[in-house]
A = this chain, B = another copy of it.
Amino acid sequence: MKKISLDNQAASPLEPAVLEAMLPFFTEHYGNPSSGHELGNAPRKALEGARASVAGLINAEPREIIFTASASESNNLAIKGLLAANRSKGNHIISSSVEHFSVLNQLKTLEKEGFAVTLLPVDQYGLVNPVQLEQAITDKTILVSIQAANPEIGTIQPLDDLVKVAESKGVPFHTDAAAAAGWIEIDVKKTGVALLSLAGDQFYGPKGSAALYISQKTRIRPLIEGGIQERGLRAGTENVPALVGLGVAAKLASETMAQRVKAITLLRDQLKERLLENVPHLHLNGHPKQRLPHNLNLSVQFVEGEALLLRMNMAGIYVSSGSSCTSQALKSSHVLAAIGLPPELAQGSLLLSLGRQNNAEEVPYITEQLAAVADLLRRMSPLYHQYLKEVQNNA
């Protein structure tokens, strides 16, 4: 049976060059970058090389990059770290209703601790409105945190415009770019963000490799205190192999982004069109154009996402019913609720994310299988039978 992963945002195979670069740091170059002797040299040099590569991906300076182990950690370090360093300046935080849980769940805790949190709404495509951001900023606002792109529906925010608004009011801006980095051009100097989170496993780097960009003028406090690694902002022996992998993945993403994006957009659009043509009652979620090139979020009306996932899995096609960080919670998506999708469409949502191993030859099989699975599940769906009855009655 064919095996096709359309769940590349949850996990992708490493670029072969990434693993190849990592391997020596498990063996001959196993040293600790903090060591004062010879064994520290190769790891230290490699770490600084990786830092430069990650900086290059977003046009930052190497010293503005702090390595972490996940985008969730970067998001927590960014928000909690900035607030800890700026407590006296205010107590108001602005974010959006479609953020990742590593932003939203922190904000819930911060609210209990006395912070005031405004979650900006989004439009039907998932876009935050810069005018609404401007109206939400008060004298007490000390942080705006809005994602660069949504990991679930793929919508790319108008980051430049949003940051400009915050900047004009002197409020530092954090962006969770975990889903976006490596896939859309990000220039921190041009955009003017204070803090930016990214994760290697979102662009063919290893799990456990991530970073936080901290602009030179931004001050934060560490979340993990201890040794003086990462300029004292993130203690703990550096995970050298993973960070070397992150560096190579960042370099490859910088160098090949244009080709990668072109190829995967073509494939994604081809898949989207074939699916929309061949599977009835299928709806696209998120922005039709302003979206991540590898992301496709669809609602299969009248059926349930988990059932779709399981049936597609049986056909050897791996898809997700939502964000991988929450899929086990079996909760309905806060993102789909935020764009106003009615529950009967939200419950049948599928997140298809493409990767470098997908190709055009897979499209007919995927289309055929999704059409068959949707048909099968609809035959068992009371909602669908009700719909058919209504159509008949109206005829």
List the B side residues contacting A306 at CB < 8 Å.
36
- Contact partners of A326 in chain B: CB under 8 A: 227-228
> At the interface, yes or no: A38 with Cβ under 8 Å from chain B?
yes
**Which residues of A in the span 1-55 have a Cβ within 8 Å of any Cβ on B?**
3, 5, 7, 10-14, 19, 22, 26-27, 30-32, 34-39, 43
Q: Choose, from A122-130, A164-172, A238-246, the stretch at the interface.
A: A238-246
Q: How far is the CB of A188 from chain B (nearest CB, A)?
A: 23
Taken together as a complex, chains A and B put the C-alpha atoms of A159 and B23 apart, in Å, by 38
Contact with B along A318-352 (1 / 0, CB 8 A): 11110111111100000000000000000000000
Choice from B101, B239, B310 contacting A242 with Cβ under 8 Å: B239
- Given the interface pairs A27-B14, A228-B329, the reply to whether A235 lies near B34 with Cβ below 8 Å is no
Complex copy number for this chain: 2
A92 is an interface residue with CB less than 8 A from chain B: no
**Residue A260 CB within 8 A of the other chain:** no
Question: Once bound together, how far apart are the Cα atoms of A105 and B222, in whole Å?
Answer: 11
Question: Do A10 and B27 form a contact, CB below 8 Å, given A76-B225, A326-B227?
Answer: no
In the complex, the chain B residue whose C-beta lies closest to that of A202 is: B237
Bound-state Cα–Cα, A309 to B252, Å: 38
| Total contacting residues, chain A, CB less than 8 A | 73
A224 touches B72 (CB 8 A): yes
Is A37 touching B329 in the complex (CB atoms < 8 A)?
no
- A39-B228 in contact given A237-B201, A237-B325, A327-B34 (Cβ < 8 Å): no
Minimum CB–CB distance from A44 to chain B (whole Å) comes to: 10
A71 at the interface (CB under 8 A from B): yes
Which A residues lie at the B interface, using CB under 8 A? 3, 5, 7, 10-14, 19, 22, 26-27, 30-32, 34-39, 43, 69-73, 75-76, 100-103, 105-106, 109, 199, 201, 206-208, 221, 223-229, 235-242, 306, 309-310, 312-313, 318-321, 323-329
Extra 7 A-B pairs, beta carbons < 8 Å, given A11-B39, A73-B224 = A5-B39, A7-B35, A14-B30, A37-B318, A100-B226, A102-B236, A206-B241
